[in-house]
Amino acid sequence: LLEDTELQALWKCSNVLAVDRLGLNDHGPVHVKIVANGALKMLRLLTGKGVEPGIVADHGMSAEDAEVVVVLASVMHDLGMSFVRKDHEVYSVPIAVRILDRILPQVYGVEEAAIVSSEVLHAIVSHHAVNEPLTVEAGVVKVADALDMEQGRARIPYETGRVDIHSFSAIAIEKVKIEEGSEKPIKIHIEMSNPAGIFQVDNLLWTKIEGSGIEKHIRVEALIKEGEASRTLTFDV
């Protein structure tokens, strides 16, 4: 997938629109790799604790097929950004359909390909805004998308002159780790250089987690550094 010529071109176009024209964060190949890795890790943590993906529970397919859904949705969730920002998750769907119709028959029969395609498209369209994820696969993609904020990944708006709470809080995030939790399957550990980063966690990340459908399986721990001292805030349901 990472060597697919069409996908590479679309990721480049997405970054031209997002970064060069709108001054937003990266929506290209680095972003989709981060999302895919994070979503896949969370999916495996959940299935390891007995949480069933939608494609397993509803279609009788395998956990490996759920991983295929998550990876495909992750790498194609922002394709609509190649030409528009507003409702880009919706406009990503027809582009993804074209690519899925090209690659899935190489691996799946007609019925299985249709199921995988439907699950991928659901995860794509529900990763943003008000669309509700109805599967574990869609939920982990939505959360992983919001977790791409480590070590200046959100610096572009700040460096291009957009100085507001969004840009200032984004540059405070130093580290993001997805780990196996002790009380819940997923622990997200975030380290920040100053309290401004709480805006990223509380107003942006946690908002996405609460609308992910997998929020009951996640605990967020935010380590706030304040000079030589530090404190930890916990977010869960």
- Per residue of the chain (237 residues), give pLDDT as tens: 878 999 999 999 999 999 999 988 889 999 999 999 999 999 999 999 999 999 999 999 999 999 999 999 999 999 999 999 999 999 999 999 999 999 999 999 999 999 999 999 999 999 987 789 999 999 999 999 999 988 656 544 544 555 566 667 778 899 999 999 999 999 999 999 888 888 888 888 998 999 999 999 999 999 998 877 899 999 998
Strands 186-192, 218-226: pairing is parallel
pTM to 2 decimal places: 0.91
Q: Two tokens at 161? A: 């002159």
Beta bridge partners of 154: none
The pLDDT score that the predictor gives to residue 142 is: 97
Burial class (CB in 10 A: 0-12, 13-18, 19+), 23: middle
Cα dihedral sign, 66-69-71-73: negative
Helix (H) / strand (E) containing 168: helix 165-170
Q: Phi and psi (nearest 5°) for 7? A: -65, -40
The pLDDT score that the predictor gives to residue 156 is: 45
**Per-residue b or e along 76-104, where b marks 16 or more CB atoms closer than 10 Å to that residue's CB:** bbbbbbbeeeeebbebbbebbeebbeeeb
Instruction: List Cα–Cα distances, 189 to 29, 51, 124, 220, in angstroms.
Output: 24, 21, 25, 6
**Amino acid (1-letter code) at residue 194:** N
The pLDDT score that the predictor gives to residue 190 is: 95
Beta bridge partners of 176: 190
The pLDDT score that the predictor gives to residue 152 is: 59
C-beta neighbour count of 232 within 10 angstroms: 11
Residue whose entry in the numeric block shows the structure tokens 């805004």? 129
Please check whether residue 41 is in contact with residue 105, taking contact to mean a CB–CB distance below 8 angstroms.
Answer: no
The pLDDT score that the predictor gives to residue 161 is: 53
